[in-house]
Structure 1
C-alpha cells in the first residue's frame, strides 16, 4: 500500500516546482512568515505639503488626512484638498457614527462636508456655537464619545454636546489624550492622567505624574490583566499602569540607552498587535505583553523613518503618517513578502532552513522564523539556478553550471555535466535517478554517501526539462517547447534508448509548440494552446481530454497543472488559479495581481497546505494566505464626481442615484469619476462600466477610475460601474441616471405639434394623392387605349413586314430558280444545236453513201432513211422558243443594260446575258449560230461599245449592272 502511495505521489511530480513542494512539511513552514507590502504616496500624488498629523475614515471608506495645507481627502483614486478659512494646518480629525468628519486647526474647528456634486468643503461650527477664544491656538486631538465631542489643545479641553460648548482649562499643559473602553483620558504634563466625567464634564485624577516616572504617555491600551494598561512612553519606556494601585512599572525600554530617539505615536491593531511609530526608527511592533515582535528594520522600506501618526482602516490596513509623505502598510492583505530582488524558480525548506533557486543564483537562510528571513547568496552558485530537490537526506541543486549538493551555504559539484534542469527518481530502480539536462539524460545514484553520475543515456540529445515517467517501466514522455512530444523507452541498464517516437501535428495536435505534460487524476495529460489532450495508444492519437477542457478554458495555454490536497493548481496565459477537485469551482481572483509576473514555462507555485501557498515570480517570493476574509465580501463602488463641459467650462452636477440628472443639449463631453474607498490599497482596483442604450456589454476591466463620453445624442441614459480588487474583493454596482436635454424643437411639446402637423399634412396629402390618382387613372386609361391602338398598328405593320419579307424571300428563290432555268434552257438549246448538227452530218453521210451503193434495194432502203431524217429534221423553231423565253427570264437585265447602252443590238444584248451566265465562248457560239472566233470578235466589239479597259473583267461588270438593277 505504501509503495502504491509513493508511486502516485511520484506521478504528481510534473515539473521541478511541483517536486519542490513535496519537500515541505507542516512543521517546516509553520514558522515561515513574511512582511506586508508597503505602498508609498508622495507630494506628486496628493499635491500638498508632505507633513501629516492626523487621519480618520468616513463610513464610506474615504480617508481624511490632516496636513499643513488643510485636509487631504483620498477616496482610493482621487485626492482633494480642503483648506481652513485661516489657511492653518489641520492637526486633528475624527469621524462619528453619523458620518460627520470633525476637524481642528489653529483657533478653528468645524466639519468637513461633501456637497451634492461630490466636492468637499469645510464648514466652521464656531459661529453657530457662538464660541470665541483668542487664545485657543492649535487643537491637537479630537475624540468622539457617543454624543460628546472633545477637542484638546495645550491649554484647555473644549467639549461639545449638541449646542452646548464647555471649556476645561489645563493645570499646566494637556500633552496627550486617548480613549479606553469608552472613557476619555487626558494627561496633564505635570499633574498626571485625568479621566473626564462625561455627565458632570469634570476631570478626575487617575494617576499622578510622579507615578509615571515623569513619562509622557503617547498611548495607553488595555492590558491582559484587568484594570491594567499598557502605556507607551515618549522615551520608549513600556509601562504597565495599574489603575487600582495607581502605580506603574517599566516593563522594558524600546530604545538603546545611547540611541537618540523617541516615540511619536502608537496604535493597537485589530489582531491585537501594537504598532509604535518613532521619530527616527520607523515602526516597531509589540505583542500584548509589550515584547518586540520583529527586528527594528522590518519596516525599513518606509519612505521616511519619522512616523508622526498611525491609523488602521476598517479594512485592516495600517497608514503611517510621515514627516515626509504617506505610507500604507497592507497589513490586511493575504500576501506577505518573503524575498525580493530576483526571479524565483524553486523553493526548498528543510527544518529551519530555506533555499531559493533564482536567476541570480541560489540563496540560503538559516532561520525561517525571522520576519522576513535573511537570505545570503550561496557562493559558487551564482547565475541561473533551476530547481532544488531533496533525495536521501541531501539537497540537490540543478543549476546552469551543473548539478550540486548543498549543505547550508557549502556546495559540492557532482560530476562535470552542465546545464541541469532537475533530478527525478527512477521508480523501477530504487536508489537511481535521472538527471534532466539541456542535452539529454544522465544516470545518477548515491554510493558510500557520495553522489555519482554513471553515464549518459545514449540516443536522445534533446532538452529534457519537461519530462514525466509513464506507467510503463522505463518509458518517459518528454515535451519540447518547439519540437513537439517525444516518447522514449530506455533499456533495463539505463544506458541507451531502445525506442524513440516523435509526435508533432500528424497525431492530433494542431501545432507542435508549447506542449507540456502533466499528471492529473492518475491520467497523463498534455496541455497546448488548443486545449488539453490525452494519448490513445490504440489509435496512436492525441485526443481532447474532456474532464479538464470542461473546467479550464481550452483557448488558453495551460502551462502548469498539478493537484495538491483538495485543489488542482494551474497557470493559464500568465494567470494563476486553482479549482476544487470536488466541484471544479475555479478561483483566480486571489492572484490577479500576479498576472504576467510568473516565469513563463517555469512557474513556481508551491502549496504548503490547503490554506497557504508560496508564489515565486519575476520579482521575488510571496506567501499567500487563502483564508483572506475579505476575498468574497462586497464593497461599495461610489460615483464620486459628475461633470460636463459646456462652452469650454467644466460644470459639476449633483450626484443622485435616485433622480435623473439633466444635461443641456450643448454638452460637449460628459465625465464620470468613481472609486471604491473600502478597497483602497487592497491591491490595484479595476473597474468595468456600461452605458445602457449605448453599450451592449460591460467594458473590460481597467485601472482608470473615470469615464468620459463625448457628443451624446439627446435621450435618457443609465451609467453603471462595478469594481474589483486584484485580491478578489468585489464591489457592488452603482448606477447614475442622466438625460441629455433636446433642443427646443426636440421637446415633447414640439413633438406633439409635429404629430398634429404631420397628421394634418398626411390627411391633406392623402386627399391630394387620391385626386391625383383619379386624374392619373383617367389619363392612364386614355393612354392605355391609345397604346392599344398603336399596338394594333404595330402588329399590322409587323404582319405586313412579315408578308413583305416572305415575298422578298420568294422573289429571291424565284430569281435563283429563273437563273437555274435559264441555264437549263441554254443547255437544252445547245443540246438541240448539237443534235441538229449531228442530223445534218448523218444526212450528208447518207447522201454520200447513196452514191456508192449500186443495189437498188439498198438504195431504196437508204432513200427511206433519208426521208425519215428529213421528216424528223430539227428546224429553227427551238431557237425562237429559246430567244422568247430567254428574253422573258432576263427582261430586267436587258432593260437595265439598254438603259446604260441603248445602242446595243439584240444579238449583243443576248451575248451580254450569256456572258453574265458564265458561258464559255464555245458554249455561246452555237447559241448565236456563229463560230468561236466570231464570239471573240463580238465580245471585243461589245467591250468597245461599253468603253471598258482592256484588263477589266466583262463578266464582273455585267454582274454589277445586274446588282444596280436589284
Structure 2
C-alpha cells in the first residue's frame, strides 16, 4: 500500500510492560521469515509470535540495543553492552545464544561498549559501536576502527553510512570509509536516521537539529511541515513505507507519517492512542504495518488497514447516525451531536460537541435542506455546528418526509407521532397525530400508508386528510407464514419488509405482500439480518449477530458481497441502529458502540492475505520441542509410552486484532474431524495409545481467511509389554507353552490311561475284594453257623455233661444213701463172711463215690468253654466272687434253680439268695432279666 489514510486514526494496539513482562525500553525491532517479531529490550531479546511473549536473556548482559535477523541462516544477531553474537535454534527448536567475542583477537577491542546498530551488508554482518565496527565474515571478525568516534550507522539502498563525530557522514566502500563532502556540518549533531528520497537525495534526521536533505554534496534544512515538527520535538530515527511515505519518530510527541514532500498525513501521539510519546524505534513488518518501540512499551499501528477510527474526541460514545451537511460531518451519539470539518485530509480525529445537544441523540438527517436532530430534548435544528432552533421538547426517534405532502414531515416521538411543516420560517411544529400512541424508532412511509414495527407486530396505518389522526388498517404478526419481521427498508424507492431474509413489498391494489425473489436469493446464504440500509450508491448494508456485511452495487446492477473484512468490527456494531454514511464511492462512515470508523473499500481488496500458523511448541513428558523459530528442522519424533500425555501450543503472527485469531486442530487418527473454531492456543491430549500421529492446525484471521495447515508428526512407542520384542517373547512363550501343553497333555493322557488302568484294576480288585469279602462273609457266616452249631453242640454237650453230672450226683447221693443204710445195719449179728462182704461192699461204694470226678470235670469244662465270658464278666465287675462266677455261668447255660442247687450242692433257697446277691453286684434293676443280661455280655 502506497498511501496512508488521512481521515481518522489507524487502529492502535498497545503492549505494556505488564503484557510482555520484560523491560520498559525497546531500542530496535526486526521480524523473521516466519513472522515472529523481535525487540531489543532492556531485559534481553524479546520475541512475540502473535500469541505469546518470550524474553531470551544473554548471559551477564541486561540491556540489548540492536537486533537483526538474517533470513538465509535464521540467525538472530544482537548487540548489547560489551557483548554481541547471535541466537540460533537448538536441536529442540528453542533459541540459544552464541557469543562472537571469542573471535576478537585484538584485546584493545574486546570491550565494545554498546553495539547500537547491526547491518547485513553483502556477505558480512557488521556490528557498530562507538569505537569501532566489527565485521563478521566466514566465521572471523575483522575490526574497522572509528576515525574519531562513531555515532550511528545506516544502511540505505544497499549503501552503508557511518556518522563520525569528527568527519561527518562516511560511506563504507570495499572496507574503507569514504567521507561525504558537505556533511561536516553534522559533527555537532546526533544523526538518528538516514533514508533515501527521489533525485539521489538523502533525508537525514537528527536528535535536536531538525531534518536535513543532502543532495549534490550540499546539506540543507528540510523546510517542510514535517521538518518543522521534528525541529520542535526531536527525532530518534525514521523508516520508509513503500518508498512513498516516511515515519519519523519523535522524542516528545509520538510519530508523524509524512509524504516525500514533507506534508504530515498522520500525527499519532499519547492523546491519540499511544502509551508513550518517546519513540525509540520504528519498523514496517511484512504486511506493511507499523511497530513502535517506546521508551515504555510497544505499539502496533495497523496503517495498512481499510479502517480508521474516531473515538477519543467522541468520548467513546455510541454512534446512532451520521450525516454530511454543508462541509461538516455530524455524528449523533448517546452524549449529543458532534461535528468535524470535511477537508481533503484529517490530521486528527478532533470532533466538537454541538452546544445544546448534550443528551441522547437518536438520529440526525437532512430533510428539505435543513439538518434536523431527533434528540432526547426534542427536535433540534442545527446549522454551522450550532443549534438554531428547538421544536417540541418531547424526545424523538426520527423523521420522514411524507411522499404526497412534500412540505410535511412526520416524526416519531416517545408517545406517538407528530406532524411538522416546512414554510418560509423553516421547519415548524404543526400538530400531534391522535388515535395512536405507540412509539418506536422503526417506521416508514410510502404513498398510501405509514408503517410501524413495534415488538413482533407490524402496523399498517392511514393518515387522515387533515393529518391529525391515524386509522390502523392492519395489525400484522406474520408475512406469508414468516413471523420474524426483523426490519423494513426502502430499496431503490420500494419499501420492503424483511422476514427471515425474505423480502416482501406490499401491493395496495391486491392487498397482499409479494416477495422479491431476486433480493431474497441475494440474502439466502447469510444469517438472518437484524437491520438493513441502502446508501446513496445503492449499496446494501446489513447487520447480523453484531457483525456487518455489504452488497456493493456494481455498474451493471449486480452486487458484490463483502463481509470478511468487517469481522474486525464484530461486537462493535450498533446492530439495531445501523448507521452507514458515505463520504464518497469508496469511503464510508460506520457507527460503532464506542465511536466512528471510516471504511475504505478500495483498501479491502489489497490488504487481505492468507495468514500463517505454527504449532509453536510440542511438550511430552519433561521435554518440549519448539517450532516456528528460524532454522526449523524436520523432526522424526518417537516418544516412549510413558510420555503419552502431550501438549501443543499454537500461534499465528497475525497482529491485527490478534485476540480474534481462531484455531482449529485435528490429531489424526485420534480425532475423527476438525475441532470447532476457538481462540484457545493450547490443546492437550492424555493417555494416547501407541500409534503414528499427525497433529494438524489451521488458523482463521479476523477477516475470516483460513491459513494453510501446519502439521507435526510423531509416534508413540508401545509399552515394553506391547513392543515388538515383547510380542516375539510372547509368541515364543506361546509356542513353548503349546509345546509344554502338548507334553503335559500327553502326560495327562498317559496318566489318564494309567489311572484308567489303575481304576480298572481297582474295579477288578474291588470286585475281587468284594468277591473275597463276600466269600469271607460267607465263610464267616459258615464259621458263624459252624460256631453256632458248635455252640449249640457245646451247649448240648454242656447239657449232656450237666445231665451226666446230675446223674452222677444222684448216683452218689443214692450210693451215699446206700452207705448210710449199710451203716445202719447191724453187722455184729452177722456172720463174719457176711459182715466181711458188707464191709467190703461198703468200702467199694465209698470208693466209687470218692473216685467219681464228674462234678470237677464239669466245673473245669465250663471254665474252659466259657473262659471269654468269665473274663469279660470279671473285667467288668472285678468284685464278683468265684462262686458268683459259677452261678453266672450256670445261669447263662439257662439251667434251672433245681439243677443249679444240685450242682452247687445248696438248697433252692440258697440259689435264690445267691441270685439276689449277684443282681446287686451287677447293679440290675428289678425289671431287668438276669439271665438275658448275662447272655448279652
Both proteins in one fold, TM over 0.5: yes
1:221-267 Cα deviation digits (max 9, x unpaired) = 2233x23222212214121212x234434525969899985322222
- Residue 298 (structure 1) shift: 7.6
Partners of 2:305 and 2:607 within 8 A in 1: no
Q: Which of 460, 466, 477 in structure 1 is aligned with 2:436?
A: 460
Q: 1:348 to 1:176 in 2, by over 3 A?
A: same
d(CA) in 1 for partners of 2:514, 2:578: 26
Q: Which of 600, 604, 609 in structure 2 is aligned with 1:628?
A: 604
Partners of 1:304 and 1:323 within 8 A in 2: yes
d(CA) in 1 for partners of 2:38, 2:267: 31
d(CA) in 2 for partners of 1:253, 1:414: 43
d(CA) in 2 for partners of 1:736, 1:367: 54
d(CA) in 1 for partners of 2:293, 2:156: 22
Q: Which of 21, 39, 62 in structure 2 is aligned with 1:65?
A: 39
Aligned: 1:245 with 2:217: yes
- Residue 749 (structure 1) shift: 5.7
* 3-state SS, counterpart of residue 275 of structure 2: coil
Structure-1 residue corresponding to 2:530? 559
Q: What does 1:117-132 correspond to in 2, within 5 Å?
A: 117-127=92-102
Q: What does 1:743-782 correspond to in 2, within 5 Å?
A: 743-748=719-724
1:779-829 Cα deviation digits (max 9, x unpaired) = xxxxxxxxxxxxxxxxxxxxxxxxxxxxxxxxxxxxxxxxxxxxxxxxxxx
Q: 1:752 to 1:592 in 2, by over 3 A?
A: farther
* 3-state SS, counterpart of residue 498 of structure 2: strand
Structure-1 residue corresponding to 2:924? none
* 3-state SS, counterpart of residue 288 of structure 2: coil
Partners of 1:531 and 1:557 within 8 A in 2: no
Structure-2 residue corresponding to 1:233? 206
Structure 1 residue runs of 5 or longer lacking an equivalent are 1-29, 769-966
Structure-1 residue corresponding to 2:486? 515
Partners of 1:671 and 1:708 within 8 A in 2: yes
Partners of 2:225 and 2:264 within 8 A in 1: no
1:924-948 Cα deviation digits (max 9, x unpaired) = xxxxxxxxxxxxxxxxxxxxxxxxx
Structure-2 residue corresponding to 1:267? 239
Structure-1 residue corresponding to 2:288? 316
Structure-2 residue corresponding to 1:94? 68
Q: 1:463 to 1:347 in 2, by over 3 A?
A: same
Partners of 2:39 and 2:46 within 8 A in 1: yes
Q: Which of 685, 688, 692 in structure 1 is aligned with 2:664?
A: 688
Q: 1:554 to 1:737 in 2, by over 3 A?
A: same
Q: 1:234 to 1:252 in 2, by over 3 A?
A: farther
* 3-state SS, counterpart of residue 573 of structure 2: coil
- Residue 152 (structure 1) shift: 0.8
Q: Which of 461, 464, 473 in structure 2 is aligned with 1:488?
A: 461
- Residue 677 (structure 1) shift: 1.6
Q: 1:533 to 1:705 in 2, by over 3 A?
A: farther
- Residue 33 (structure 1) shift: 0.2
Structure-2 residue corresponding to 1:34? 8
Q: What does 1:394-543 correspond to in 2, within 5 Å?
A: 394-470=370-446, 473-480=447-454, 482-505=455-478, 508-510=481-483, 515-520=486-491, 524-528=495-499
- Residue 623 (structure 1) shift: 1.0
Partners of 1:676 and 1:731 within 8 A in 2: no
Q: 1:762 to 1:435 in 2, by over 3 A?
A: farther
1:311-332 Cα deviation digits (max 9, x unpaired) = 1112112111111111111212
Q: Which of 290, 308, 325 in structure 2 is aligned with 1:336?
A: 308
Structure-2 residue corresponding to 1:869? none
Aligned: 1:350 with 2:325: yes
- Residue 31 (structure 1) shift: 9.3
- Residue 680 (structure 1) shift: 5.5
- Residue 598 (structure 1) shift: 2.2
Partners of 2:549 and 2:562 within 8 A in 1: yes
Q: 1:408 to 1:757 in 2, by over 3 A?
A: farther
Q: Which of 603, 609, 614 in structure 2 is aligned with 1:638?
A: 614
1:504-556 Cα deviation digits (max 9, x unpaired) = 25962446xx6311234665443346866566779977687654554446894
Structure-2 residue corresponding to 1:576? 548
Structure-2 residue corresponding to 1:286? 258
d(CA) in 2 for partners of 1:258, 1:587: 41
d(CA) in 2 for partners of 1:67, 1:654: 23
d(CA) in 2 for partners of 1:440, 1:487: 14
Aligned: 1:301 with 2:273: yes
d(CA) in 1 for partners of 2:328, 2:43: 50
Q: What does 1:854-893 correspond to in 2, within 5 Å?
A: none
**Bigger Rg, structure 1 or 2:** 2
Structure-2 residue corresponding to 1:218? 192
* 3-state SS, counterpart of residue 93 of structure 1: strand
- Residue 745 (structure 1) shift: 3.0
d(CA) in 2 for partners of 1:254, 1:510: 60
Structure 2 residue runs of 5 or longer lacking an equivalent are 746-937
d(CA) in 2 for partners of 1:600, 1:762: 77
d(CA) in 1 for partners of 2:230, 2:238: 22
Aligned: 1:44 with 2:18: yes
Structure-1 residue corresponding to 2:336? 361
- Residue 375 (structure 1) shift: 1.4
Q: 1:710 to 1:521 in 2, by over 3 A?
A: farther
Structure-2 residue corresponding to 1:602? 577
- Residue 748 (structure 1) shift: 4.8
- Residue 406 (structure 1) shift: 0.2
Q: Which of 170, 174, 180 in structure 2 is aligned with 1:206?
A: 180
d(CA) in 2 for partners of 1:260, 1:697: 61
1:372-402 Cα deviation digits (max 9, x unpaired) = 2421222221111011111232211111221
Considering only aligned residues, what root-mean-square deviation do their CA atoms show, in Å? Answer: 3.4
* 3-state SS, counterpart of residue 628 of structure 1: helix
* 3-state SS, counterpart of residue 84 of structure 1: coil
Aligned: 1:619 with 2:591: no
d(CA) in 1 for partners of 2:461, 2:683: 57
Aligned: 1:717 with 2:693: yes
d(CA) in 2 for partners of 1:342, 1:64: 36
Partners of 1:76 and 1:681 within 8 A in 2: no
Partners of 1:405 and 1:412 within 8 A in 2: yes
1:861-885 Cα deviation digits (max 9, x unpaired) = xxxxxxxxxxxxxxxxxxxxxxxxx
Equivalent residues, number = 725
d(CA) in 2 for partners of 1:469, 1:752: 87
Structure-2 residue corresponding to 1:162? 138
Partners of 2:197 and 2:260 within 8 A in 1: yes
d(CA) in 2 for partners of 1:586, 1:415: 42
Partners of 1:657 and 1:736 within 8 A in 2: no
* 3-state SS, counterpart of residue 9 of structure 2: coil
d(CA) in 2 for partners of 1:323, 1:295: 18
* 3-state SS, counterpart of residue 148 of structure 2: coil
